[in-house]
Every structure is written in structure tokens, then in C-alpha cells.
Chains A and B, each alone.
Chain A
């Protein structure tokens, strides 16, 4: 506790770096996955490729990816960009499947009803497919958020600044307190992020709490979380 109070400034700074390194890939992953998922849903070949690739990508150990990327990207090994790119790859691997499942969860009859009312494709996607996909998409985002926050700490092994530094530093100095503070800080960060996502989802999907009609979507979301957790487990 004393150590924490004396070093709270550093811990908060590390937490800030940690959050940025986890959040940016999540947002980038989402921006890539939603259109990719929509394209893959329409094209059988692309769908197979995307599904297989996303499974394979997740089997690459994160440390290996952090080391392979600099020569490919032409970056220095300490560049945080490596971490961002690596975690974006993981985020896309998870979210693109979430996006496909999310769009699959939208009722085809409803799509047809939209066409019959004279929706054009873009308007239909933005006003119907996308909002109705949110419950399943958010399930994916929550997994990515936790997975990213835990994966970022691996980057500390390369010396990229984040809460993981508390582990490497604590280990080198055989100073347990610092490691414990690191663990607690990461847990808290993951918890806060998850809470924010849950609240955001509640805010954006008021209709899901209105009745029983969305039970099907809920069960799809639950199935997706279960699948994704198995994947995330494999990557660590």
C-alpha cells in the first residue's frame, strides 16, 4: 500500500498507457470487422476464408507476433505501433466472427419487410441490420476488451510501456508488492472497461429489455461469448 501511494503517479501513468494500447486496437478492430463481416456474410468463399483465418490468427502466440511484426512493418521493436497492430489483428479475428453472427441474428423476414417498404440497401444496413446486431456485437466487444487488456501486458516483456512493466520490474527486483499492484490494477481496468461496455450497450439497445421477443438474440450472444472465450484462452 505504501509502495502504491508513493508510486501512484507512475501506476496511473502506466494504466493510462495500458488503456490506450488496449482501446485503439478494439476500435480499429470494430471498424474493420463490421464491413468485413457484412461482406463475408454475402460471399460464401470469403466467409470460409475469414472463418478459417480468424481461427488460425488466434493461435499465433502474442509474444511471437510482437517480435515478427517490426521487420514486416519496418518499425523499431519498442514502437507501440507493433502492439497496436498485433492487438488489432486479434481484435479483428474475434470481432469479424461476432459481426457475422450478429448479422445472422437479424431476422430475414425483417430484412424482406424493409425491402418491401422501399429501404435502399445502405439505409437498411444502417437503420436495421446494424442496430439489431448490437447485442451480439457487444458480446464480442466485451471479450475483446478483456482479451486486449490482458494481452497488452505481454508487450511489457519488450519494454513497451504499460501496467505489465510492473510485472517485469517487480520480477527483476523480486519485489512482490509491485507485481500484486500490477495484477490488481489490470483487473480493475478490465472491470471498469467491461462495466462501461455493459452500460453503453444498455443505452444503445433499450428495446432488448422490453419483452421476450429478443430471447433468440440473447441466446446467440451467449453462444458467441462461450465460443470466443475458448479462442481467447487458446491465444494466451
Chain B
């Protein structure tokens, strides 16, 4: 059992004349892990997050961080002891990237030189070139700004990081990148991260634990993401995690046991002319480029998603279903073709995994 870092004890937030935004919330957040608050708009997830650093004061109940009641700490001091990342990067447009990152150390009285030095290190930590440090935020892309936002939150090396839908304003490709980057950072830094999102996919990718909030500020389920997808606590959670939850749940099962078949390869689509079967077109380094159809003259047909060895059942099934040839392309860690897998065999493996789980419980 992990040690608790943040605890909510029957916390309620009621705005005047309305129903409660957060209603009797009691939960304990593990130290050194990522806890995701997820739910539809108006479910109180952001309010709950903001009560941790007293940007919102609870109507009743107590919140403790590392055993100390937050309401006893001066608000400004408390906030400086936690990193905060928000949806719009919230960077100060009139200060350089370095000075933005150095904000909290400067507020804490660290000298400008020392704070900038620390900021330079952090640029590297979040994967930004040091040349960007002298720029103004408006000269960066949305994804880069968000990285600066994360660097700024880390500047004073706080044990707790509060993230309020930090990646929801960037495009899906960048979001994916930022999520992976956050997981990589977390493996090194082991902060206690509370992450708010409305996207159940993001929640299951990032969360060690996921708290699903229902409208009216009630905690509907608090469990590991795998469990939430497999066994939703009630109808609300089931409908919120959505139609694809069966498919998403496959993310948590390895596909190591899937059979990999050999496949015919050609180096250029023209060479496939006269073939009786689909062939994978590969480059000189045997990396797959696409498919060549057995029908003449079709040329190079773009391939589906790739299954990298060690990926989940979800990736395996998707590779098979998205392939024009009905066979999922399998590559090794260097992106070189290994073989193909078949949808019916993936499905059989899924069934087998389910049986094993039944036997285990």
C-alpha cells in the first residue's frame, strides 16, 4: 500500500444558491504516483484540484498535504510549494522563456542568476533547446509553450504537481507526444501528480489511479485504469468510459503470445505484378513502406498501423483491422519488418486472456 501524500476528508464545496460543486469528497492520493481526476464538465474535478492549493476554499471538510492541513498554511507559500500547470500555458507574455520558468524560485527569493541557471537545466529536462530560453512565449508553438509550462511548474522542485487539463488545447499528435514525455519525466522525478482531464483515453494512458467524478461533485469510482475499463462501478462510469471501453481495455494486456507469420516482401510495388498474394513493400533497411496488391497496377497502398513487438493487444488488433491486406504488420524495436499477424488469431488470444482472468478470480 502506497503512502498517502494528499488526503481529502469529507470535502464539500458549495457555491451560493447552487447545488454543491464537490459533495463530500473523501479520497487519498498516493505519493509519487499520477492520479487522474476525470469526468464530464461540471463534475467538480477542477474545483477539487484547486482546493489542494487553496485557489478555491472548501465550504467544509479538510485537505491535508503531507499530513498538514492546507488551510493552516499561508496561501501564497502553499502555492509556491506545488507546481501548477494549466490549459492555456499561462506564460507571462512580457517575460522571456527563461524568466517565466524562473518565476517561482524568484518569488522564493532565489537570486536572478541562480534562478536562470536552474531554468536552463529545466529547458533540457522538458526537451527544449537552450536557444529557446531567450525568446518570448509568443514565439513558441503551442506544444513548446506547454512544455515551458511544465518546466515552470518544476522550477522550485515541488513534491506535488497539479495539472489542470494541461494538454487539451494542443493537437492530438502533440498531445500524444506530451503525454509520453510526462510519463518519461515521471519515471525520473517520481512526483505526486494530480492531473485533471475530461478525456478518458488520456486518463487511462497517464493514470496510476483514476478518479471518475459524476455531475454534482460525487466520486463515482476510484481505481486503477484497467479496473475502471474492465469493471465500471455503475452505469454512470460505464457510460462515461464509453462505447470503446472494451477495445481500450485491451491496452492493458500484452500481446506477446500472438502468432507472427512470415510474409512475402518486395522492394518496389511494380515487382509485385503477377503475384497471387499481398506483399509488404520494404525499403533497403527492410522497414515497411506499405502494401502491394495482387491486382495488377495498383501501385503502393498505404499500410495500416504498425504493431511493434511488446505492444498491447489493442495495438495488435488495430494493426490487423487497419491493414488493407487484413494482416497487421509486425516490426521490431528498430522498425524493421518481422512478419504479420492475423485478426482472428488476435481475437482468439483476447478470448484466451479473458478465460485466464476468470480462472484467476
Using a CB–CB cutoff of 8 Å, the interface residues on chain A facing chain B are 107, 109-110, 112-120, 123, 128, 131-132, 205, 207, 210-214
Instruction: Assess whether B92 is in contact with A120, with CB atoms less than 8 Å apart.
Output: no
Instruction: Assess whether A109 is in contact with B136, with CB atoms less than 8 Å apart.
Output: no
Instruction: Assess whether A118 is in contact with B107, with CB atoms less than 8 Å apart.
Output: yes
**Pick from A114, A123, A205: contact of B94, CB under 8 Å:** A205
Instruction: Assess whether A210 is in contact with B76, with CB atoms less than 8 Å apart.
Output: no
Q: Does B128 contact A (CB under 8 A)?
A: no
0/1 string, B157-181, CB within 8 A of A gives 1: 0000010000000000000000000
Contacts of B293 in A (CB 8 A): none
Contacts of B75 in A (CB 8 A): 118
| Distance to closest chain B CB from A136 (angstroms) | 13
Interface stretch (choices B82-90, B197-205, B283-291): B82-90
Instruction: Assess whether A116 is in contact with B79, with CB atoms less than 8 Å apart.
Output: yes
Instruction: Assess whether B90 is in contact with A110, with CB atoms less than 8 Å apart.
Output: yes
Residue among A107, A113, A120 with the highest chain B CB neighbour number at 10 A: A113
Instruction: Assess whether B80 is in contact with A118, with CB atoms less than 8 Å apart.
Output: yes
Instruction: Assess whether A132 is in contact with B139, with CB atoms less than 8 Å apart.
Output: no
A111 nearest CB neighbor, chain B only: B90
Instruction: Assess whether A112 is in contact with B55, with CB atoms less than 8 Å apart.
Output: yes
B139 nearest CB neighbor, chain A only: A211
| Distance to closest chain A CB from B102 (angstroms) | 11
Instruction: Assess whether A120 is in contact with B84, with CB atoms less than 8 Å apart.
Output: no
B96 nearest CB neighbor, chain A only: A207
A-B CB contact pairs (8 Å), 24 listed: A109-B86, A109-B87, A110-B92, A112-B55, A112-B86, A113-B86, A113-B91, A114-B92, A116-B55, A116-B79, A116-B162, A117-B84, A118-B78, A118-B79, A118-B80, A120-B76, A123-B107, A128-B92, A131-B94, A210-B138, A211-B136, A213-B93, A213-B137, A214-B138
Question: For the complex, what is the distance from the CA of A128 to the CA of B90, rounded to whole Å?
Answer: 12
Contacts of A116 in B (CB 8 A): 53, 55, 79, 84, 86, 90, 162
Instruction: Assess whether B138 is in contact with A113, with CB atoms less than 8 Å apart.
Output: no
0/1 string, B33-63, CB within 8 A of A gives 1: 0000000000000000000010100000000
Beyond A109-B88, A118-B79, A132-B94, whether A207 also contacts B138 by CB under 8 A is yes
Q: Does B135 contact A (CB under 8 A)?
A: yes
6 nearest A-B residue pairs (beta carbon): A113-B90, A213-B138, A211-B138, A118-B80, A118-B79, A116-B84
Contacts of A213 in B (CB 8 A): 93, 137-138
Residue among A132, A207, A211 with the highest chain B CB neighbour number at 10 A: A207
Q: Does B10 contact A (CB under 8 A)?
A: no
Contacts of B53 in A (CB 8 A): 116
| Distance to closest chain A CB from B275 (angstroms) | 53
Contacts of A120 in B (CB 8 A): 76
| Distance to closest chain A CB from B172 (angstroms) | 22
| Distance to closest chain B CB from A227 (angstroms) | 24
| Distance to closest chain A CB from B66 (angstroms) | 17
Question: For the complex, what is the distance from the CA of A113 to the CA of B92, rounded to whole Å?
Answer: 9
Instruction: Assess whether B136 is in contact with A210, with CB atoms less than 8 Å apart.
Output: yes
Q: Does B104 contact A (CB under 8 A)?
A: yes
Q: Does B19 contact A (CB under 8 A)?
A: no
Contacts of A132 in B (CB 8 A): 92-94
A113 nearest CB neighbor, chain B only: B90
A213 nearest CB neighbor, chain B only: B138
Beyond A116-B55, A118-B104, whether A207 also contacts B79 by CB under 8 A is no
| Distance to closest chain B CB from A122 (angstroms) | 11
Instruction: Assess whether B94 is in contact with A112, with CB atoms less than 8 Å apart.
Output: no
Beyond A117-B104, A118-B77, whether A109 also contacts B90 by CB under 8 A is yes
Question: For the complex, what is the distance from the CA of A212 to the CA of B138, rounded to whole Å?
Answer: 7
Question: For the complex, what is the distance from the CA of A225 to the CA of B143, rounded to whole Å?
Answer: 35
Q: Does B12 contact A (CB under 8 A)?
A: no
A127 nearest CB neighbor, chain B only: B92
Question: For the complex, what is the distance from the CA of A210 to the CA of B95, rounded to whole Å?
Answer: 11
Contacts of A112 in B (CB 8 A): 55, 86, 90
Q: Does B103 contact A (CB under 8 A)?
A: yes
| Distance to closest chain B CB from A103 (angstroms) | 14
| Distance to closest chain B CB from A126 (angstroms) | 12
Contacts of A113 in B (CB 8 A): 84, 86, 88, 90-92
Instruction: Assess whether B107 is in contact with A119, with CB atoms less than 8 Å apart.
Output: yes
Question: For the complex, what is the distance from the CA of A214 to the CA of B80, rounded to whole Å?
Answer: 28
Given contacts A109-B87, A117-B79, 17 further A-B contacts (CB under 8 A): A109-B88, A110-B91, A110-B93, A114-B92, A115-B79, A116-B86, A117-B84, A117-B104, A118-B77, A118-B79, A118-B104, A132-B92, A132-B93, A207-B94, A207-B95, A207-B136, A211-B138
Contacts of B103 in A (CB 8 A): 117
**Pick from B76, B87, B88, B93: contact of A207, CB under 8 Å:** B93
Question: For the complex, what is the distance from the CA of A123 to the CA of B104, rounded to whole Å?
Answer: 12
B140 nearest CB neighbor, chain A only: A211
Question: For the complex, what is the distance from the CA of A107 to the CA of B92, rounded to whole Å?
Answer: 10
Contacts of B138 in A (CB 8 A): 207, 210-214
